[in-house]
Amino acid sequence: MAQPTNSFSSYDAIGNREDLSDLITNISPTKTPFMDSIAKNSATATNHEWQNETLAAAVATNAVIEGDDATTDSSAPTVRLGNNTQILDKVARVTGTQRANDSAGRADEMDHQVVKRLKELKRDLESSLLANNAKVAGNDTTAREMAGVESWIATNTSAGAGGADPTGDGTDARTDGTQRALLEADVKTVLAAAADEGGDPDMISVGSFNKQAFSAFTGNATRTTDSTDQALRTAVHVYTSDFGEIQVVYNRFQRSRSALILDTALWKLSVLRDFHSTDLAKTGDTDRKQILFEGTLEAMQETGNGIVADLTTS
Task: Give pLDDT tens digits for 271-297.
Answer: 999 999 999 999 999 999 999 999 999
Rounded distance between C-alpha atoms, residue 76 and residue 254, angstroms: 36
Across the chain, which has 314 residues, the per-10-residue mean pLDDT values are 71 71 68 93 96 91 92 92 97 90 84 91 96 97 98 97 97 98 96 96 96 83 54 67 92 97 97 94 93 96 97 96
Query: DSSP alpha helices (H): ranges in the chain?
Result: 33-37, 96-100, 109-129, 184-196, 208-215
Residue 45: partners with Cβ closer than 8 Å, 6 or more residues away: 85, 272
Give helix then strand counts, H and E, for the chain.
Answer: 5, 13
How far is CA 133 from each of CA 173, 175, 267, 294, rounded to the nearest angstrom?
5, 11, 16, 17
Strand partners, 271: 42, 295
* Phi, psi angle pair for 33, to nearest 5°: -60, -40
Strand order in the sheet with 157-158: 157-158, 306-308, 259-262, 203-206, 244-250, 236-241, 221-223
DSSP state of 302: G
Distances 72 to 55, 69, 75, 76, 275 between C-alpha atoms, Å: 15, 10, 9, 13, 50
Predicted pLDDT at 103: 82
Distance (Å, whole) CA 76 – CA 22: 65
Q: Which residues pair with 93 in a beta bridge?
A: 288
Phi, psi angle pair for 59, to nearest 5°: -125, 155
By the 10 Å C-beta count (0-12 exposed, 13-18 middle, 19+ buried), 231 is classed as exposed
Q: Tell me, what's the pLDDT at 237?
A: 85
Boundaries of every domain in the chain: 33-47+80-308
**Ramachandran category for residue 79: left, alpha or beta (phi over 0 → left; psi -120 to 50 → alpha):** beta
Q: Smallest Cα–Cα separation from 163: which of 173, 253, 171?
A: 173
User: CA of 157: how far to CAs of 188, 194, 305, in Å?
Assistant: 11, 9, 9
Among left, alpha and beta (phi > 0; psi -120 to 50; other), residue 310 is left
- Dihedral-angle region of residue 72 (phi above 0 means left; psi in -120 to 50 means alpha; beta otherwise): beta
- Give the distance from CA 11 to its chain's centroid: 52
Helix (H, G, I), strand (E, B) or coil at 14: coil
Which stretches within 38-150 are classed as H helix?
A: 96-100, 109-129
Residue 204 CA to its chain's centroid (Å): 12
pLDDT at 254: 97
Quick one: which of 170, 166, 189, 174 has its CA closest to 298?
Answer: 170
